[in-house]
Structures are given as structure tokens and as C-alpha cells.
Amino acid sequence: MKWLAVSEESRRDLDGHTRFAGVCIRERKYWPLFVLFFYILSPIPYCIARRLVDDTDAMSNACKELAIFLTTGIVVSAFGLPIVFARAHLIEWGACALVLTGNTVIFATILGFFLVFGSNDDFSWQQW
């Protein structure tokens, strides 16, 4: 395959689209993948709080509530980021809707995992 040498001025227009021979080629943007960081970060505060505190301690309630507060902030940010990207025209509104639907499924799965395996009985994820 032969590559054509084209100057940078003729390839880029003001919108950031690539133009070649008068045809606008839209670049692929993977901005919605930034929510993957939120999927990784969301269970971390609660897991740390469960490891650090004992249920009989009075400070454990404050520590767990701080962990829940931080987790809530992470989850709200995961839902807000695609909306900000769509309003800034980095992604389309259809992509935003798909990311928000995926967020709902992923965070419901994470919540279900902690509800099923969160107790300290014989059937616990802490055994692993």
C-alpha cells in the first residue's frame, strides 16, 4: 500500500476532522472508555473501609459512611462524564445513552456482588 504525502494544513480542518481529497473522514474517538476508570475505582473505598474497621467500634460507622460517600461520588461522576462529553460534542448523544445504559448494568452488577458476598458467613468472597 502506498502512502501519499499530504501537508498537515490540508489534512486538518478547524473541527478536527481529517480531510483527504475534499472528503471529510471523521476520526474515531474513544472518549467513553474513560468510564472504565470509574468501574475500577468504585469498589475500592468500601473494600478498604471493611478491612480497616471493626463492626463494634464507634469510628467504624463514620469510616463506612465516608467510604459510601466516596463511592457515591465515583458513581455519580461515571454517569456525569458521558453527559459532559456529549454536551461538549466529543461523542454523540446515542453513544452517551449506550454508555449510561452500560453504567447501569455494571454498577448493578457490582452492587449485587457486594450484597451477595458482603456478609461474614461461610459463603463469603473474603475466603478467596
Residue 118's pLDDT is 74
Neighbours of 96 (CB within 10 A): 20
- The residue-averaged pLDDT of 48-74 equals 82
- Judge whether 92 and 26 are in contact, CB under 8 Å: no
CA 20 from centroid of its chain's CA atoms: 34
Average confidence (pLDDT) over 16-23: 52
* Per-residue confidence (pLDDT) for residue 4, from 0 to 100: 45
Which one-letter amino acid corresponds to residue 28?
R
Query: Given pLDDT bands bounded at 50, 70 and 90, which one contains residue 2?
Result: very low
Output 59 or 112, whichever has higher pLDDT. Answer: 112
Residues in the chain: 128
Residue 22: what pLDDT? 53
Q: Quick check: 75 and 68 in contact, CB under 8 A?
A: no
